[in-house]
Amino acid sequence: MTEKQPAAATAVEMASRQREISVSEFFLKNRHLLGFDTPAKALLTAVKEAVDNSLDACEEAGILPEIRVQVSDRYGRSRVIVEDNGPGIVESQIARIFGKLLYGSKFHKLRQSRGQQGMGISAAGMYGQLTVGKPLHIVSRVAGDELASELFVSVDTARNRPDIHKKRRLPWDRPHGTRVEIELEGHPQKGPHSVETYLRLTAIANPHVAIDYSGPGGEAVRFARSTDALPPRPREIRPHPHGIELGRLIQMLSTTECRTLLDFLVDEFSSVGRKTALAIIGQTGTQLSERSYPKHIAHAQAAALHRSIRRTRVLAPRTDCIVPIGEERLLEGLRKELKADFYTAATRPAAAYRGNPFQVEVAIAYGGIGNADAERHPPATDGPDDGAENGAAELMGAKDEPVRLLRFANRVPLLYQQASCAITKAATQTNWRSYGLRQPKGALPVAPMAVLVHLASVWVPYTSESKEAIEPYPEILREIRLGLQQCARELAHHLHRELRLRREHGRRAFIEKYLPHIGVALQEILSLGDEERDSMVKRLDDVLRASRAPQETGS
Amino acid sequence: MTEKQPAAATAVEMASRQREISVSEFFLKNRHLLGFDTPAKALLTAVKEAVDNSLDACEEAGILPEIRVQVSDRYGRSRVIVEDNGPGIVESQIARIFGKLLYGSKFHKLRQSRGQQGMGISAAGMYGQLTVGKPLHIVSRVAGDELASELFVSVDTARNRPDIHKKRRLPWDRPHGTRVEIELEGHPQKGPHSVETYLRLTAIANPHVAIDYSGPGGEAVRFARSTDALPPRPREIRPHPHGIELGRLIQMLSTTECRTLLDFLVDEFSSVGRKTALAIIGQTGTQLSERSYPKHIAHAQAAALHRSIRRTRVLAPRTDCIVPIGEERLLEGLRKELKADFYTAATRPAAAYRGNPFQVEVAIAYGGIGNADAERHPPATDGPDDGAENGAAELMGAKDEPVRLLRFANRVPLLYQQASCAITKAATQTNWRSYGLRQPKGALPVAPMAVLVHLASVWVPYTSESKEAIEPYPEILREIRLGLQQCARELAHHLHRELRLRREHGRRAFIEKYLPHIGVALQEILSLGDEERDSMVKRLDDVLRASRAPQETGS
């Protein structure tokens, strides 16, 4: 502050400093927005982006995914390799897919997929390039091609376009697939933010996926698939009229190729048939008719059309653009990776926010590993005794800890930013006390329990580009709450049954202890022989047992 | 699900679907990332972006800012007008500044400013265009020009470039300045997320700014300036060598115009003189010399250079690139807008995260408005009795409520996403109990208190593009904690003093009550006349008063 401050600037000087900012530069400087703020998180994010891409590609091509993930580390310099048996990438696209931000096939589509913005894998490369200075190394082979393509690609950040350092064709033992190798400043974690936990959660939400993981400590884990059935491929849809803003409608009118308003409404929107379209047009109360030429519709008329669309009843959005995991598969996945006493799951019907269809699924695993009371509980009748590995323990809280939230969006586990996620908000807003759990004010309930919530949508509104938390839109919050309540009711039944069983067990112990004494007393009173006494005790026991039996059964 | 699912895709089909995504399209679809998720937030964000730009421009041009903000609303269609006395914008730049995302003068500079990414105002326009369908309306006049320029501009989202709907020159009564008008789907709020609260907080952090506000309910508020001194203009700096990643170093080596490594180190970095540069080069242990040609330095040599930079002691970053508000001004601002019993402020020394200088300031206002105990407290000796308006009440919590956090970054109030902000994290991590406050575990302390935290930096790492919360980098967390502790110590003294004063007050009342009785007793014992008795009582009182005086004073 002692030196003279810079001179004031004139408008002309200020104008001369205006510049275009490339999207790569922007995200390089703001790399925390993409999940690359610390070496620990960067490593996990890189794995996640590569695995997301592999799974999306396999499913789109109808291939059962078989993924190999390899992480090694030397003094904070990490190497990540993700290899899949997917369809491979046509050589001419490789450089742009891996070396350009905002380039992809999923952004302009209304259809559920893991990736949606075309940034993740290029951003991982950009981070590697920044911290270690090495480009991404990609090998990919398309089925039917004799050779694979190998490329070394980095992002030219000033221009947001790929720099190809080396390119050649080479033989590869895979018939088709893609392999990505990234070197980056990383810091492998253990516990809830580890690559292994992320892969375990991925296996839970994707029971059709097989993953082989080899970690930085030499550990090797195989997550086997529990089903050979690929999930149905989601269908692409057009936007729903109730989610369209006026400005968007004006833009659509000006760019459509339809020559009449009727065709425009029927062709460009989902859930609008001829009848609905005519109802909309009829309500505008302006000079609009079914034959109006879309490109000639003025602002005031468009505003009237927009109001009319809002007032008209339209069928709910189609839902085959989203593919929930399904209650059965969810339970299978949970049972495989997480040992508990009680499981329940609920898949809500599809709903929509801003015209975007979405669907919420909730599952609960209660009691078991990590629960100090585990031994005292009767073994659950619907739970297996094996299958859950040690690593699963951290997926469920202990008796005196808040429940663990397992958050998923489009089958991808969300590991950071729990505090700002719609799922957390809905879970804290739910009144768990009324279902028999402890719950501090404004907090998650306290119980040995994992609560899994999955949001499937054609467009997940993440709170940041790093896709770690879901924006709490009211419609989304509501559906999550309803799903949680549905599962909580089942849990309440279980807890009630468990409580009754425990009371029953107490009564039984009491009877068993005192029945012999009662026998002796009866023997005296009724002057019974020893045999008569024993038979009397036996009959008493039978009667008492039978009278309680109906309470014991019931799933 | 009943219809046939779409066919599986081949690699070639998948390649044909790859597209470039324009940054405008991206943010239009993800508009919550820029703060435009709900009409309520969108309205406030639009005001904020326009005011940020006005203040930045005025300060850069050395003009005392005089801002007029006008918000009106008709059935959810809001109009925002922000007008300033700034330097105006050269006509050729207007369209791009208001009609293109990622275009601006602040991104490539290391210097404190409110705006940094060149997105805010265009995004506000884009949202207006989407929801109401009208372009931004801009009037701007550069000093010396005879006429002002008027433009109607919208964003061509598919290409991220401006669409000019109308342009003309017209007379304007202002000699220089800019006026922006946005129509958008808005929902004016009352309370902590209102435009008025935002402006009040802006006035606190910017005591040199005058704002005239006229709100949607016809209300008019003038926030007068409390100083005529503009803050010093921050100086632009080069990056600090300790914040440079290897990849960035390699890039800088390849693009520099310096012809020797020595010149490169001295010219391209901040805090590196000839001596430090030679020390760095000397430590590389490779063939590098001061005369090495930067563009010819290979990867392994660059890595050695990078290691050597990390090992060499370098002066801390220059700090005249950042301009704190200053303790005195902070206290002035707080006193003007917020009535309390006790105020304290602390400006921490500058520090750095990833090589970016930053500085933390903390101020506390305790007791007073909103505090049920207010009447019982003695009036603070350093607090004024007037000036704070009614609206200020909500800036401070009540006795049984968590303290209010007033968060600021580069003098801009942050109103949303408190839960994910570094400031919140630091405030909950601080042990307030040891300073005499109540604090539930893992939560903010409970007290009638406002805690103001300001982070000034050449690059604020926001958690999202909407700039509502600060990423909790460890260095930033640490500085905020230290600042909070410094203020908390002062507060503890005050609370201790207050407690002592209250006890003293009790003792005094006791003495005043019994001194006359003692006088009568002494009169009897010593056979004093009435006058002698009164004089004795007076002397006793003086002595007692004097003996306690040192405890009472002390600032």
Question: Which pLDDT score, from 0 to 100, does residue A442 have?
Answer: 80
pLDDT of residue B386 exceeding 50: no
Cα separation, B213 vs B72, whole angstroms:
11
* Chain B contact set for A246 (CB, 8 A): 130-133
Select the residue from B12, B13, B16, B18 to test the A interface by mutation, using most A Cβ atoms within 10 A: B18
Q: Which two tokens stand for residue A186?
A: 């990383």
Output the DSSP codes for B153-187: EEEETTTTEEEEEEEEEE--SSSSEEEEEEEEE--
Same domain for A182 and A56?
yes
* Residues A86 and A139 placed together within one structural domain of the fold: yes
Q: Among A2-16, A145-159, A170-184, A534-548, whose mean pLDDT is lowest?
A: A534-548
A30 and A76 in a single domain? The answer is: yes
Got the DSSP string for A136-187?
EEEEEE-TT-SSEEEEEEEEETTTTEEEEEEEEEE--SSSSEEEEEEEEE--
Q: What is the CATH number of the domain that holds A115?
A: 3.30.565.10
pLDDT over 80 at B536, yes or no: no
Is residue B378 over pLDDT 50?
Answer: no
Answer yes or no: are the C-beta atoms of A109 and A162 closer than 8 Å.
no
pLDDT of residue B393: 59
**What does chain B come to in residues?**
555
Q: What is the pLDDT of residues B468-514, one digit of tens each?
A: 999 998 999 999 999 999 999 999 999 988 888 888 777 777 667 76
Per DSSP, A370 falls in state T
pLDDT above 90 (res A203): yes
Q: Is the pLDDT of residue A97 over 70?
A: yes
What is the number of helices (H) and of strands (E) in chain B?
Answer: 14, 16
Domain limit, last residue, from A311, A338, A363: A311
Per CB-CB distance under 8 Å, the chain B contacts of A165 are none
Which residues in chain A are closer than 8 Å to B464, comparing Cβ atoms? 33, 463-464
pLDDT band (50, 70, 90) for residue A378? very low
Q: Are residues B201 and B297 in the same domain?
A: no
Q: A316 phi and psi, to 5 degrees?
A: -60, 155
Three-state SS letters, B512-535: HHHHHHHHHHHHHHHCCCHHHHHH
User: For residue A328, which phi and psi values (nearest 5 degrees)?
Assistant: -65, -45
pLDDT band (50, 70, 90) for residue B202:
very high
How many CB atoms are closer than 10 A to CB A332? Answer: 18
Distance of CA A493 to the CA centre of its chain: 27
Q: Is residue B443 part of a domain?
A: yes
Read off the CATH number of the domain in which A304 is found.
Answer: 1.10.8.50
Residue to test with chain A: of B64, B464, B470, most A Cβ within 10 A: B464
User: Which residue from A minimizes the CA distance to B176?
Assistant: A11
Nearest Cα residue to A464 out of A111, A28, A31: A31
Output the domain CATH number for residue A389. Answer: 3.30.230.10
Predicted local distance difference test score (pLDDT) of residue B382: 37
Do B207 and B337 touch, CB atoms closer than 8 A?
A: no
Mean of pLDDT values over A122-147: 95
Say what the pLDDT of residue B59 is. Answer: 95
Whether residues B236 and A320 touch (CB distance < 8 A) is answered with no
Mean pLDDT of chain A: 88
Secondary structure (3-state) at A40:
helix
Q: Are A259 and A403 in the same domain?
A: no
Q: Which residues of B touch A250 (CB under 8 A)?
A: 133
Residue A15 lies in a domain: no
Q: Which residue has the tokens 């090998």?
A: A139
Query: Is a pLDDT exceeding 70 seen at residue B546?
Result: no
- The mean-pLDDT minimum among A337-346, A517-526, B5-14, B461-470 falls in A517-526
Check if A23 contacts B (Cβ < 8 Å): yes
* B466 in the same domain as B522: no
Determine whether the interchain pair B37/A471 forms a contact, defined as Cβ–Cβ distance below 8 Å. yes
Q: Are B162 and B100 in contact (CB under 8 A)?
A: yes
Per-residue pLDDT tens over the stretch B232-276: 999 888 989 988 889 889 989 999 999 999 999 999 998 999 999
Q: Calculate the alpha carbon distances from B41 to A289, A339, A418, B133, B134 in Å.
A: 37, 44, 22, 19, 19
Residue B15 placed within a domain? no
User: Does A429 lie at the interface with B, CB-CB under 8 angstroms?
Assistant: no
Phi, psi of A402 (to 5 degrees): -60, 150
A177 in Cβ contact with A140 (< 8 Å) = yes
Distance from CA of A91 to the nearest CA of B (A): 9
Q: How far apart are alpha carbons B129 and A236 in whole angstroms?
A: 27
Q: What is the residue range of A534's domain? A: 497-552
Q: Mean per-residue pLDDT for B530-539? A: 81
Q: Are strands B449-457 and B404-409 parallel, antiparallel or unpaired?
A: parallel
Residue B41's pLDDT is 94
The 3-class secondary structure across B22-45, one letter per residue, is CHHHHHHHCHHHHCCCCHHHHHHH
Q: Is B133 within 8 Å of A232 when comparing Cβ atoms?
A: no
User: What is the tens place of the pLDDT at every residue in B147-184?
Assistant: 999 999 999 999 999 999 999 999 999 999 999 999 99
pTM summary value: 0.83
Record: contact B103-A21, CB cut-off 8 A: yes
ipTM over 0.90: no
CA separation for the pair A367, A362 (Å, rounded): 17
Residues B345 and B379 in one domain: yes
The token pair that represents B503 in the structure block: 């006890």
C-beta atoms of A100 and B60 within 8 A: no
pLDDT tens digits along A412-439 = 999 998 988 999 999 999 999 999 999 8
Answer whether residue A4 is part of any domain. no
Same domain, A379 and A473: yes
Contact: A32, B117; criterion CB under 8 Å: no
Tell me the C-alpha distance between A406 and A194, whole Å.
14
Domain contains B234: no
Contacts of A136 by beta carbon, 8 Å cutoff, 6+ apart: A98, A99, A121, A124, A125, A128, A129, A152, A153, A154, A180, A181, A182
Q: What pLDDT score does A395 carry?
A: 81
Put simply, the answer to whether A250 touches B133 (Cβ < 8 Å) is yes
Given a cut of 60, whether residue B3 has pLDDT beyond it is: no
| Residue B373 pLDDT greater than 60, yes or no | no
**Does the pLDDT value for residue B30 go beyond 90?**
no
Tell me which residue in B96, B234, B420 faces A18 most closely, judged by beta carbons.
B96
**Pairs of CB atoms within 8 A across A/B:** 230
- Residues 6 or more apart whose Cβ sits within 8 Å of residue B439: B431, B432, B433, B445, B446
Does pLDDT of B391 surpass 60?
Answer: no
Contact B87, B56 (CB under 8 A): no
The pLDDT > 90 percentage for chain A reads 61
The verdict on A21 touching B (C-beta cutoff 8 Å) is yes
Q: How far apart (Å, rounded) are the C-alpha atoms in residues A327 and A334?
A: 11
Percent of chain B that is helix, strand, coil (3-state, to 5): 40, 20, 40
Task: Return the closest-CA partner of residue A419 out of A402, A398, A399, A435.
Answer: A402
Chain A CB contacts of B457 under 8 Å are none
Using a CB–CB cutoff of 8 Å, tell me whether B105 touches chain A.
yes
- Separation CA B382–CA B341 (nearest Å): 8
| Per-residue pLDDT, A377 | 34
Of the candidates B152, B158, B130, the one whose C-alpha atom is nearest the C-alpha of residue B24 is B158
B268 shares a domain with B124: no
Instruction: Answer whether residue B444 is part of any domain.
Output: yes
Interface of A with B in 455-484 (CB under 8 A): 459, 461-465, 471, 473
Predicted confidence (pLDDT) per residue in A18-60, tens digit: 888 899 989 988 888 899 988 999 999 999 999 999 999 999 9
CA-to-CA separations, B378 to A159, A313, B498, in angstroms, rounded? 64, 64, 8
Q: B233-243 burial, b for 16+ CB within 10 Å, e for fewer?
A: bbbebebbbbb
Q: Does A62 touch chain B (CB under 8 A)?
A: yes
Euclidean distance between CA atoms A403 and A447, whole angstroms: 5
Nearest alpha carbon to residue B147 among B131, B167, B164, B168: B168
**Rounded distance between C-alpha atoms, residue B199 and residue B192, angstroms:** 11
According to the model, what pLDDT value does residue B164 have? 96
Q: What is the pLDDT of residues B411-457, one digit of tens each?
A: 999 999 898 899 999 999 999 999 999 988 778 999 999 999 999 99
Measured in angstroms, the CA of B391 and the nearest CA of chain A are apart by: 28
Q: pLDDT band at residue B544, thresholds of 50, 70 and 90?
A: low
Q: What are phi and psi of B158, to 5 degrees?
A: -65, -30
d(CA A152, CA A168) in angstroms, rounded, equals: 9
pLDDT cut 70: percent of chain A above it:
92
- Which residues of B272-349 form beta strands (DSSP E)? 340-347
B349 and B473 part of one domain = yes
Question: How far apart are alpha carbons A201 and A395 in whole angstroms?
Answer: 9
Instruction: Check residue B180 and give its pLDDT.
Output: 98
Confidence class of residue A370 from pLDDT cuts 50, 70 and 90?
very low
* A453-502 tens-digit pLDDT: 999 999 999 998 899 999 998 999 999 999 999 999 999 999 988 888 88
Cα(A438)–Cα(A445) distance, integer angstroms: 6
Residue to substitute from A105, A301, A458, interface B, most B β-carbons within 10 A = A105
Domain count, chain A: 4
Dihedrals φ, ψ of A420, to 5°? -100, 15
Residues in B 140-179 with any Cβ partner in A closer than 8 A: 142-143, 157, 176
What helix, strand, coil percent values describe chain A, rounded to 5? 40, 20, 40
Residue B518 has pLDDT above 60, yes or no: yes
The reply to whether A266 and A394 lie within a common domain is no
Whether B418 and chain A come into contact, CB under 8 Å, resolves to: no
Rounded mean pLDDT of B1-22? 81
3-state secondary structure of A94: helix
Asked if residue A406 belongs to a domain, the reply is yes
Statement: residue B31 has pLDDT above 70: yes
Q: Is the pLDDT of residue B375 over 60?
A: no
Q: Quick one: pLDDT band at residue B43, thresholds 50, 70, 90?
A: very high
A3 domain-assigned: no
Quote the pLDDT of residue A392: 55
Tell me the pLDDT tens digit for each residue of A497-532.
888 888 877 777 767 776 677 777 777 777 888 888
Domain boundary among B311, B338, B366: B311
Partner residue opposite A247 with nearest CB, options B7, B107, B129: B129
* B514 contact partners, CB below 8 Å, separation of at least 6: none
Q: Comparing A22-31, A56-65, A392-401, B84-93, which segment has the lowest mean pLDDT?
A: A392-401
Query: With left for phi above 0 and alpha for psi between -120 and 50, is residue B144 left, alpha or beta?
Result: left
Which position has the token pair 């001179």?
A7
Cβ-defined contact of B132 to A17 (cutoff 8 Å): no
Chain B contact for A507 (CB, 8 A cutoff): no
Q: Do B61 and A463 touch (CB under 8 A)?
A: no
State which of A470, A493, A516 marks the end of a domain: A493
Query: Do A523 and A432 reside in the same domain of the chain?
Result: no
* Residue A538 in contact with partner chain B when CB distance is under 8 A: no
Say yes or no for a CB contact (<8 Å) between B107 and A461: no
CA distance B73 to B185: 9
Q: CA separation (Å) from A503 to A496, A507, B329?
A: 11, 6, 68
